Structure 1
Amino acid sequence: MFFGNLDSNGKQRDRCSVPAEAHAQTGVAAACADVEVGLLAKNSLRNRAAGQVVAMFERSFYATLDGNWICVGQPDIGSGPLHLLGKFRLSRLATGDIARVADSTLWVAGAPLAMLASASLWVPSTVPHWSTSSLRRGLHAVDEPWTSDLMVGGLASAGFGRIPLQASALVQAAKPGLIALERILSGSVEESDVSRLGSLIGLGPGLTPSGDDLIGGALIALAALGHTECRDALWGRCLGQIDRTNDISKAHLHAAALGYGAAALHAAIHTVMSGQTARLHQALSALTAVGHTSGLDAFAGSLIVLRRATLRK
């Protein structure tokens, strides 16, 4: 369904023209042809896949198709592995509406929403060249802005390398899980660490709780570093506790276990790894637009992993 060469940003260079027979019937709103689909959403949007809308928001909605989760939304929610983005008209949709894919078109509530044959494909950008010195340079540069207003709310302060004395109640509650995460990353795991790590899952408010975002960021950073065995070991210890959180957050955690997350998170991780300090403020600004605190919480988990990586050398 999706073809074409990828450019440096992970999008297809060429788009197929939309065949005349694919246009919506007279009297029905036309489907959006200028859309972007994440690499995991692509696998869910197969012809004859069917399901329903399960959660509605102002700029997006979540749907399941044959049991697989996708997030359909406006371009400003940002690229990601589960996302289908376009300038959609969502105001008339509701939870429970039937969703299905037919003739390379996503139909919702009986109307065509997205033309999939012309979709561009999003995949994370390639991990840049990096070294221990470039990583240390990037971590040093991130410390100054990370001690400012970025640490207000959520678990962002956990990414600073040490938990501040005046930590919030949420950060205090996360301490056992954060200590367990550090031990698991170092390879010195105790039996009690598995349950302590599990205390992070579902911890905090929001659609994707802060503890889930932090673990997801750690998984994605481990994949970026090439530490797939450690990533899989961490994920294996999370699986037994996964039912502590909601289904939407589970879907994002499963994507993180494969090494995939929000485009802004990948960009921030790569910026720190490559030591491109001039791009750091832009990368952090983009993270603040991901959820209420989700982008910063996820990056805190990534920073925990990246700091640990410098100790291995």
Structure 2
Amino acid sequence: MAIVTLTANSCGYLTARRLPEIIQVHSCFSHALNLIDDDGHLFTLLSSEKYQNLPDAVRVTQPENWDWRQQASRGETVRTTAGKLQARHWQVDISAATVWQPRLGGSSVSLNALPDALRHYETLSSQLFLFCLEHQVESDLLWACSPLIPSESKRQLAPAEAMEQLESQVAQLIGFGRGLTPDGDDYLLGYMAALWPWKLNAGLREHQQRLHQAISINLPRTTDISRHYLNRALEGHFSQPVCELLEKLTARTPTADLIAATEHVMQFGASSGVDCLAGILHGLRNINTAH
């Protein structure tokens, strides 16, 4: 059988820095293939037509009717040699792939720019609500999919909370919900993303540190794929849609451009994107009240 060669269009900056010589197939989906190394780090091959960049991903052009579930099997070995990822029946040429790198860095934006972000809050909240209605999104975090968030939920993950209370709330969120990345995990990821670009004051920095500590402790409660994304978020690494939304929120962005960026976030997964956006909104609220 002839080996099929796929062309990589782009790769995430973490993949460009480190791609192990030997990795194994972790899980297969129609438009995505997860690979795992000996240290437990995931690398993903993504359809360039379906997905934007991830820090640990390579986006490839998939042939018509290509389905990774038919082309790879769990535990199969994949080797990196001469600019190619090589398996038994296929290979991916990554030699000419462009490298995606987000423009924003952690703690790089002054809180003086917060009013520019907050003026978009109602737009994002409305987009979340309308998207959930139009696409009949089902999330186990029912309060996360509506702009009319109950007052009880507004007290969750608050900067003034004691460590014990914060740990309890994180423990209830991690692993909560359905899917490969449960709803609670996606919400926490969005919340971390909202805090990430700002030069936080002392109180918010302490809250961020306590939050990261609580999430780290509770990572064994969730799936390995979700655990990978949360680990990356703890290090300040997020997907291209999330990074581009944050970039637009922290700049003087036209409303139409912001709406498009919000749509890109919400389109990820069945409910992952809307849960992530709900977490971002929660983070913006807390930054506003505590800065």
Which TM-score bucket, shorter chain as reference? 0.7 to 0.9
Checking the alignment, whether the CA contact within 8 Å between 1:44 and 1:65 is kept in structure 2 is no
Deviations 1:108-161 (A, max 9, x none): 2x2452223222111223368871321221113323333334364224743766
Question: What TM-score, normalized to structure 2?
Answer: 0.82
Pairwise CA RMSD of aligned residues? 2.7
User: 1:164-203 maps to which residues of 2 (within 5 A)?
Assistant: 164=150, 179-182=155-158, 186-203=159-176
Letter in 2 for 1:294: S
Structure 1 partner of 2:56: 82
Query: Runs of 5+ in structure 1 lacking a partner?
Result: 1-26, 166-171
Q: What does residue 55 of structure 1 align with?
A: 27
Report what 1:153 is aligned to: 138
SS at match of 2:230: helix
In structure 2, relative to structure 1, the CA distance for the partners of 1:190 and 1:94 (3 Å cut) is closer
Matches within 5 A, 1:130-279: 131-150=113-132, 152-154=137-139, 155=141, 157-158=143-144, 163-164=149-150, 179-182=155-158, 186-227=159-200, 230-274=207-251, 276=253, 277-279=255-257
Aligned length: 271
1:234 partner SS:
helix
Distance 1:187 1:161, change over 3 A: farther
% identical equivalent positions: 22
Question: In structure 2, do the counterparts of structure 1 residues 157 and 287 end up closer, same or farther at CA, with 3 Å as the change threshold?
Answer: farther
Partner of 1:306: 284
CA contact (8 A) 2:188 2:279 kept: yes
Q: Which runs of 4+ in 1 moved over 4 A?
A: 127-130, 159-162
TM-score using structure 1 length:
0.77
Question: SS at 2:24's partner residue?
Answer: strand
Q: Deviations over 1:235-286 (max 9, x none)?
A: 1111111111011111111111122222112222333333522223212221
Give ranges in structure 2 of 5+ residues lacking alignment: none
Distance, in Å, in 1 between the alignment partners of 2:126 and 2:172 is 29
Asked if 1:120 is matched to 2:106, the reply is: no
Measure how far apart 1:61 and its partner are.
1.2
Secondary structure of 1:79's counterpart equals coil
Q: Distance in 2 between matches of 1:37 and 1:189?
A: 40
3-state SS of paired residue (2:250): helix
Structure 1, 34-43 or 221-230: larger mean CA deviation: 221-230
Q: What is the alpha-carbon distance in structure 1 between the residues aligned to residue 145 and residue 288 of structure 2?
A: 14
User: Counterpart of 1:99 in 2: which secondary structure?
Assistant: strand
Alpha-carbon distance in structure 1 between the residues aligned to 2:7 and 2:23: 21
Counterpart Cα distance in 2 of 1:148 and 1:30: 42
CA distance in 2, matches of 1:145, 1:132: 20
In 2, distance between residues paired with 1:82 and 1:139? 30
